[in-house]
Amino acid sequence: MKYATAYIKNQEFTGLEELKTAFLRGSAFNNLYQPYKKFDYELSSNNKELKNIQAISFILLDLGLYLDTHPDNQDVINLYKEFLEKYKQLVRDYEEEKGPLTLRSDSLGKYPWQWLQEPWPWEEGE
C-alpha cells in the first residue's frame, strides 16, 4: 500500500508575529499566515493572564512543529527555550494567585488536595 506524503516547502524563518496576533491568527510565523476569508480577529480583555498562558502555549506548539521540519535552526530552538521559560513563569504566577490550572500542576502536591478549593476562572465575577 502506498501512502501519500505531504510536500513541505522549505520555509525561511523570518521572525515571529506579535504574540496576540499570532494567537488570534493561528500562525506564529509572520511570513506563513494565510488569512481565512474576511475573518475579524478580536480578543476580549477578560482574564488576560490566562489568555497570555494560552497564547504562549500556542507559540510553543507552533515552534515545536516548525522544529520538526527544521531541527537544525538554532535561532528557533533558542526562541522555544525563551518562550518555555515565559510559559513556566506565567503558569507559576497564575497558580499562586488563582489556583491550579491542570491536574498536572506542581501546586497540587500539597495537603489538603486543592483542585476544587479555588473558584473556577469563569466564577471570578460572581
The amino acid that residue 97 corresponds to is E
Q: Is residue 60 part of a domain?
A: yes
Element (H, E) at 97: helix 74-98
Q: Is residue 74 part of a domain?
A: yes
Question: Cα Rg for the chain, rounded, in angstroms?
Answer: 18
Q: What is the distance, to the nearest Å, from the Cα of residue 77 to the centroid of all Cα atoms in its chain?
A: 16
Total-model pTM: 0.63
Domain coverage including residue 84 = 19-101
pLDDT digit string, tens, across residues 16-38: 888 777 777 777 777 776 666 66
- Residue 16 contacts by C-beta under 8 Å, 6 or more apart in sequence? 22, 28, 29, 30, 59, 79
- Report CA-CA distances (Å) from 100 to 75, 93, 94, 116: 32, 10, 8, 9
What is the rounded CA–CA span in Å between residue 44 and residue 76? 29
Burial of 36 (0-12, 13-18, 19+ CB in 10 A): exposed
CA triple 104-107-109, angle to 5 deg: 80
- The structural domain count of the chain equals 1
29 in Cβ contact with 65 (< 8 Å)? no
| Grid cell 499566515 in the structure block, residue | 33
pLDDT digit string, tens, across residues 61-100: 999 999 999 999 999 999 999 999 999 999 999 888 877 8
Whole-number pLDDT of residue 86: 96
Q: Is residue 84 part of a domain?
A: yes
